[in-house]
């Protein structure tokens, strides 16, 4: 996982819970909390921090990961405004994730390990995003979608009927845009 993800997590924890809680999480996990945004760190280090946050707060891990995705989206927009086209809709944006945004992210951060998205796009107001990653961070994807929906001022319903956490090969995130 790239260091930028760790620094964003630190920012979120400090903003929502305070610096003392972030320090407690670092102590509990044995992490020094020093991250270089372009460096790669073990996925297990991020997982340990999230689990420690769960133990400290009592908030379920999936809810924390989803909230982190929501938190990340505005930061992603701020750092990468060129990924957004004027007049673009939520659905149009989401359709660019795998073939445009991830391609550009790989150019900026060689060696980054990103999830794969495939799409089923049959109706104007619906989109199914098929998420696959050995990391199984589908809840992060849910949070990023929620953050994107807020950015595009769009309401939607999400059905996450098939999930890798339940043994499926991929997650199906079906959006109905309302």
State which residues form the domain around 35.
3-59
Same domain flag for 125 and 147: yes
For the chain, what is the HEC assignment? CEHHHHHHHHHHHHHHHCHHHHHHHHHHHCCCCCCCCCCECCHHHHHHHHHHHHHHHCCCHHHHHHHHHHHHHHHHHHHCHHHCCCCCCHHHHHCCHHHHHHHHHHHHCCCCCCCEEEEECCCCCEEEEEEECCCCCHHHHHHHHHHHHHHCCCCEEEEEEECHHHCCCCEEEEEEEC
pLDDT score at 171: 97
pLDDT(109) > 90: no
Same domain flag for 50 and 108: no
Same domain flag for 85 and 50: no
pLDDT(111) > 90: no
**Domain holding 117: CATH number?**
3.90.1520.10
Which pLDDT band, with edges at 50, 70 and 90, does 19 fall under?
Answer: very high
Provide mean pLDDT across the span 103-128.
Answer: 89
Total domains, the chain: 2
Same domain flag for 82 and 107: yes
Same domain flag for 93 and 171: yes
Q: Rounded to two decimals, what is the model's pTM?
A: 0.92
pLDDT(103) > 90: no
Provide mean pLDDT across the span 101-112.
Answer: 83
Which pLDDT tens digit goes with each residue over 63-78? 999 999 999 999 989 9
């Amino acid at each position: 996982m790239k260091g930028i993800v760790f620094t964003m997590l630190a920012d979120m924890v400090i903003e929502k819970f305070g610096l003392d809680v972030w320090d407690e999480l670092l102590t509990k996990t044995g992490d020094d909390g020093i991250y270089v945004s372009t460096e790669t760190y073990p996925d297990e280090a991020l997982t340990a921090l999230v689990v420690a946050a769960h133990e400290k707060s009592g908030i379920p891990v999936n809810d924390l990961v989803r909230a982190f995705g929501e938190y990340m989206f505005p930061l992603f927009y701020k750092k990468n405004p060129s990924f957004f086209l004027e007049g673009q809709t939520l659905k149009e944006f989401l359709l660019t994730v795998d073939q445009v945004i991830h391609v550009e992210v790989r150019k900026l951060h060689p060696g980054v390990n990103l999830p794969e998205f495939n799409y089923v796009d049959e109706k104007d107001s619906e989109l199914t995003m098929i998420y696959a990653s050995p990391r199984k961070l589908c809840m992060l994807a849910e949070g990023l979608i929620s953050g994107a929906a807020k950015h595009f001022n769009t309401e939607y319903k999400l059905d996450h009927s098939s999930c890798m956490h339940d043994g499926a090969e991929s997650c199906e995130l079906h959006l109905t845009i309302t």
